[in-house]
Amino acid sequence: MLVPVLGTIGILLAFLILLRALHGRMLAGYPCFYCYIAMLLLGTAIAASVRVAFPAKFSQYYWPIQLVTLVFGYGIVLEIFRHVLFSYPGVGRFARVLGLVSLAATLCFALVYPLIAPPSSHIGPYGELERGVRALQAILLVGILAVISHYGIPLGRNMKGMILGYGLYVGTSLVSLAVEAYAGVWLVAVWGFAQPVSLLISLLIWLVALWSYAPNPAPSFDTHLEQDYEALVVRTKMAIGALRSYLFKTVRS
């Protein structure tokens, strides 16, 4: 009973987000994000209709819709690169390398671990696939957030809300799928609500954060400092490396 209610509220919130985007002319500003919201709205509406009209066939429709929505979710990552990291090409490239490294590591883990670990999952192959993709999204988000935090890149209200809502949903989905896969059906009654509730919270965050267009602060590139950064890096690396070995030698003595 609760799940259909949550689904209806989710449809209304997604519809409100799109309506607000149309009214505020923000569709062109964040096209990938609004494609994801539209897909979310469509998928939830189809799933809710099938649950009511053909309950026996619900699982056949649920997972394909969920997986398509998963793929569209990467649109938010694209928006992060476009709006946050585009103005900082070096940092953006750094984040892309980090993303590729995390993708490679996750793929290796996904390929090798099933070969050495015994098959044990209560969530089925689709659930395991979603869990794997959520893990990849989580690693990517953690890497991007680490780069943004380390270099002190400013975030506007729109991007902050987008990242917060998406990160919350990805994290909750990952944890709930991991726990369900391990603990079994008896825990589904509790954790089964975690994903829909977190999606509602994310939709609320997006509705508030994207109520009006608030672009990212433009970078203020200084024109006064014209030092050679590469030379500075080389000197700094040499100095800190020497000091680190000196420091640890001193401590050990």
Partner 1 sequence: MIQLVLYLLLGAALFASLLVMAVRRRARAAGSAEAIAGAQQALCTLQSSLLPPELVERIFAREDFEFVAAEVPGPVKGLFLSERKKLALVWAHQVRGAIVCLRRLYLGKARQYARLDFRTEVELAFDFTLLLFACRALELLLHLRGPYAAPRIVRATATAAARICDISETALAFLNPPALAIAEGGTAGRGA
Cα 43 to Cα 34, 40, 71, 129, 223, distances in angstroms:
14, 5, 13, 18, 49
User: CB of residue 2 vs partner 1: minimum separation in angstroms?
Assistant: 23
Is position 111 an interface residue for partner 1 (rule: CB under 8 A)?
A: no
- DSSP class of residue 30 equals S
Q: Kindly indicate which of the ranges 5-13, 39-47, 71-79, 157-165 contains the residues binding partner 1, using the contact rule CB under 8 A.
A: 157-165
* Contacting range for partner 1; rule: CB under 8 A; set: 16-24, 44-52, 142-150, 194-202: 142-150
164 touches partner 1 (CB under 8 A): yes
Does 142 bind partner 1 (CB under 8 A)? Our answer is yes
201 binds partner 1 (CB under 8 A): no
The binder of partner 1 chosen from 24, 60, 185, 235 (CB under 8 A): 235
Phi and psi for 170 in degrees, rounded to 5? -65, -45
The dihedral sign for the CA sequence 108, 174, 206, 37: positive
Q: Which of 52, 104, 105, 146 binds partner 1 (CB under 8 A)?
A: 146
**DSSP 8-state secondary structure symbol assigned to residue 219:** P
Does the protein bind partner 1 through residue 178 (CB under 8 A)? yes
Sign of the Cα torsion 45, 38, 69, 166 reads negative
Nearest-approach distance from CB 229 to partner 1, in angstroms: 5
By CB under 8 A, residue 243 contacts partner 1: yes
Exposed e or buried b per residue across 122-137, where buried means at least 16 C-beta atoms within 10 angstroms of its C-beta: ebeeebbbbbbbbbbb
